[in-house]
Chains A and B, each alone.
Chain A
Amino acid sequence: MQTSRTPFYALILLLLVVGLGMTWLRHKSHDVPWLPGEKRQVWSIEAKVDFVARGEPVKVSLAIPDTQTRFERIAEYSASPGYGLEFVEQNGERRAEWSIRNATGLQTLYYRLDMLVDDSLKVSDTAPPLEVASALYDDTPHATSALHMLSSALERSADNFTLARELIREFNVQSQSASFLAQRQPRSRWMKQLLHYAQVPAREVKVLTLEDGRRRQSLQTYLQVFQEGQYQLFDPKSGRSGLSSNQLLWEYRSGSLLDLVGGSRSDVSFSIIDQEVPVSQGLDKSEQQFSFLDFSIHSLPVEEQALFKGILLVPVGVLVVVFMRVLIGLRTSGTFMPVLIAIAFIQTSLVTGLSGFILIVGVGLVIRSYLSHLNLLLVARISAVIISVIAMVSLFAVIAYELGLSEGLKLTLFPMVILSWTIERMSILWEEEGSREVFVQGGGSLLVALVAYLIMTNEVVRHLTFNFMGLQFVFMALVLMLGSYTGYRLLELRRFSVLGKGDSDKGEH
């Protein structure tokens, strides 16, 4: 006890007071609810338009969505330094139009939209006029083949919706004809034209799948088919119909997504984030709605926010590791490896991640045991393991894809170098201490990763860490407290239990 511990405890106290104070303040003054249930769901969607300007006047026109069934547009913003901006409406379609007299080099324009989820909201949509596609009246082999498909589908259908469904099935069954047709124009375009030919109003729409924390999402083309004032959406690939609750129509007036004059190599990508907005806030559509941003992550662009939503969860995972090691006494291979595995699990989904991890480490150990016979130098050996791991991941991804399991592709999200070190460490452990120790440490790592994953994916935890920055100070205080804990670890109680019991009356006073 040479140095006083008082400043240390004062620091912990300060962190706790500041952290809890900030958290409470944010709840009070900004009306952010404690629990995710007490909010209205608002999706913030950011479209990022990238292009290279040629040094001449530039005009950019981006299709933007309006209030639609289930989604109410409550706010929109755009960031585009130097550009003039106007929201225009033509043929019932909303577009954002940027313009500038002169621009050179890489340009980035942002358009951000807040959509309030309202399940009771219904916006009726009118059917598009039937267009005559001249291509179908040609006497080309394409037209013949397409009309043949239509007639087969017509036979098996009863109404507009079933016709669309059967047509998609026809395209999937007759894959040769379908790929022949695809040389000319995309499948969805053919389907739209065929439906119009059969007097069924339909159009291609661009759909965005809303998923919290996604970056660089792109649009998918769906088929919208009308029948007596109602419509349904069809996925032209799978034939799945209906709009799921997290699909937003981005462009649905048969226009183009992006028109660009004066530039090239344009690209539109979308970032999405699930904002938790209190009931009072969500309904209040006035201009002060984003005053609650203040000093917080929420003032960043959506793409960065989505990134931070993940980063802010890392302290929670780290806290789990500290807790498990200091209080429980679990042994893990590599101190913070479990957190990285947990983060990978979040990206891959649990079952894929878990089986992928076991598969890669298992096969990796076999490969490593062969490498150990080659008498390689350490750095070369690890490098060989890294390359093998990458080869394995690629192989598994290809196999999974061929089997129709898109989940397998997500394995690439594992941190390869860390996996390789894990394999190396476990392999040495195996040689030195036997398989038991490998399972103890491997199991310990997985257990910690699992607990970290479960906590990090918890709705309440995600809500709290993202909305209350003050909690980070609280985490810091907790880590400091745990770091100075001198008591027994839980597993030590078992290890030393022979010492606690027995002839205690003989011992020291």
Chain B
Amino acid sequence: MFGLLREIRDLRRRGVLGMNRRNIAYISRYNERRLFPLVDNKLTTKQLAIDAGVSVPELIGVIENQHDASSADELLRERASFCLKPSKGSGGKGILVIRRGDDGKYLRSNGLAMSSADLRRHISNILAGLFSLGGAPDQVLIEALLECDPALAKYSHEGVPDLRLILFRGVPVMAMIRLACAASNGKANLHQGAVGVGIAIRDGVAVHAVQNDVRVTHHPDTGLDLGELFIPQWQEMLELGCNCADMTGLGYLGVDLVLDKNLGPALLELNARPGLSIQIANGAGLLPRLRSVEAIRNPARMSVAERVAFAQAQF
């Protein structure tokens, strides 16, 4: 009993944000219900981003009904690599990353071959709503694959590492980069065993890293020292995050970004209910940072540059 109380006190002192408080004090207070569809539908998000001048992966095509599933082959004939996504998916469900092998076969990111029939089945499943929230009928987005900046690509075993930013009232408050590894089967979700590296908002340099909630110092597959990891073009990444917050109007937002070799920082997806493991990756609680942003009188009137400067000075 006393151990439990001590545990609660410790977490309180570190300012760790819990699920209940996140839901009541942040999501339901700062995120308007009507804005959720903007981020829950990736097609809408993409349109929004294009309108706002935020760079996003190129949209190759959209498949909207079962009848068009067979036309996917034609659409993809010219492409060496691409990515299939359910428009209303969440948590990375149903995302398929494909490269074309030397013999013209489709290869998944984990190296497994995939026939045209397999591809059609996956498309059909997405359309039927297998991956969407609540099982509603869905659309398939086909996007060009981003090519990760080599400075970051070397840290990832498979797949593109993505940067998660938490923005509160338009101010970046915490960041982490998720590195896929062999143990996570090329997936970048922390609960599936990916490595999470906390990134300092100040300078984009790694501060802390965990795998399966245990602190690590080196990448388990590549053996690289994670302490040396830093994010190139950090300033632009932060500004991009701020722009995303502004274009959606959501007060508490998770932004997933990728650093593309050619495009520079690009938006991958947005999340109106970002998870809390970012705290574990950073080895720090979110609450003190959220409170210091809450103390600002009117952050909406601050420019992007001012908000980034505030965040870099504070966190």
Contact = CB atoms under 8 A, between A and B. Distances in A.
A118 interface: no
A2 B29 CA distance: 9
A259 interface: no
B215 interface: yes
Interface in B40-87: 66
B124 A375 contact: yes
Given A498-B210, A499-B11, A486 B20 contact: yes
A377 B65 CA distance: 11
A495 B66 CA distance: 42
B214 interface: yes
A180 interface: no
Contact of B14 (A326, A375, A493, A500): A500
A504 B14 contact: yes
Interface stretch (B2-10, B253-261, B302-310): B2-10
B280 A500 contact: no
A499 B16 contact: yes
B213 interface: yes
B1 interface: no
Give the size range of B's interface with the partner. 35 or more
B283 interface: yes
Interface stretch (B127-135, B172-180, B220-228, B232-240): B127-135
Contacts of A499: 11, 14, 16, 279-280, 283-285
Contacts of A501: 10
A228 interface: no
A375 B21 CA distance: 41
A495 B7 CA distance: 11
A385 B25 CA distance: 40
Contacts of B4: 493
A488 B14 contact: no
Interface residues of A, number: 30
Nearest to B23: A486
Interface in A477-493: 484-489, 492-493
B19 A492 contact: yes
Given A375-B124, A498-B280, A499-B285, A492 B18 contact: yes
A329 interface: yes
Contacts of B215: 498
A507 B14 contact: yes
B33 interface: no
Contacts of B283: 498-499, 502
Given A486-B24, A500-B7, 12 more contacts: A329-B19, A377-B66, A378-B129, A484-B24, A486-B20, A487-B8, A489-B18, A493-B7, A493-B11, A500-B13, A507-B284, A508-B14
Interface of B: 4, 7-8, 10-11, 13-16, 18-21, 24-25, 29, 66, 93, 121, 124-125, 128-131, 135, 137, 192, 210, 213-215, 276, 279-280, 283-285, 288
13 contacts: A378-B137, A428-B131, A486-B24, A488-B8, A489-B19, A492-B18, A493-B7, A496-B280, A498-B215, A499-B16, A500-B7, A500-B10, A504-B13
